[in-house]
Amino acid sequence: MRQDGDLISRLSEQGYRLTPQRMLVLSAIANSDHHISAEEIYAQVVAKYPYVNISTVYRTLDLLKRLDLVTETDLGGGRVRYHPVDKGHHHHLVCQECGAIIDLDESVLSSLQSHLLREYKFSADLRHLAIFGRCTNCNQ
């Protein structure tokens, strides 16, 4: 709980206003123990402060992405999920058959990252990738 101080101070450092709406979005993300969706954030925010629009949630998420404070990952299921950068990066293997999600350490993709930088001079953002496929069970 209450690890949102970091996100909040980063925002104000950079000259952004700490509106009530933003504070609520920030603490919803910081206090969540999983990869949270915009809809889930919105539900938490509205519970405390009813007159907030969901577009404000999306705009705040957009800001946090631009400032590299949260990562955005599409884990399937039709909605994108968010995770604070300072809680560590990792990747996900998503089974398209049963929906199982296997967490993967960041290091698994680090050689790919350096390969792309060396051969293509491309700085890949591989902080939070979802790789789709089939897990052992579903691959029979």
Partner DNA sequence: AAAACTTATGCAAGCATTTGCAATTAAAAC
Partner DNA sequence: GTTTTAATTGCAAATGCTTGCATAAGTTTT
- What are the residues binding DNA (CB under 7 A)? 16-17, 19, 21-22, 37-39, 51-56, 58-62, 78-80
Retrieve residue 77's tokens.
């299921």
CB of 22 to its own copies, least distance (A): 23
Measured from the CB atom, the residue of 67 and 135 that comes closer to its own copies is 135
3-state secondary structure of 84: strand
Residues in touch with its own copies (CB under 8 A): 74, 93, 95-96, 102, 104, 108-109, 112, 115-116, 120-126, 131-136, 139
Tokens found for residue 32: 């969540």
Min separation Cβ 21 and DNA, Å: 4
Q: Which bin fits 123, alpha (ψ -120 to 50), beta or left (φ > 0)? A: beta
Question: Residue 49 or 132: which CB sits closer to its own copies?
Answer: 132
Q: How far is the CB of 132 from its own copies (least distance, A)?
A: 5
Q: Which is nearer to its own copies, 18 or 102 (CB)?
A: 102
Could you tell me the smallest distance in angstroms from the CB atom of residue 25 to DNA?
Answer: 8
- Taking the C-alpha atoms of residue 16 and residue 135, their distance in angstroms, rounded to an integer, is 43
Strand partners, 92: 103, 130
Other residues' Cβ atoms within 10 Å of the Cβ of residue 85: 18
Binder of residue 78, out of DNA, its own copies, none (CB less than 5 to 8 A by kind): DNA
- Partner from its own copies, DNA, none binding residue 135, C-beta < 5-8 Å depending on class: its own copies
Which residues face 93 on adjacent strands? 102, 131
* Whole-angstrom distance, CA of residue 116 vs CA of residue 100: 29
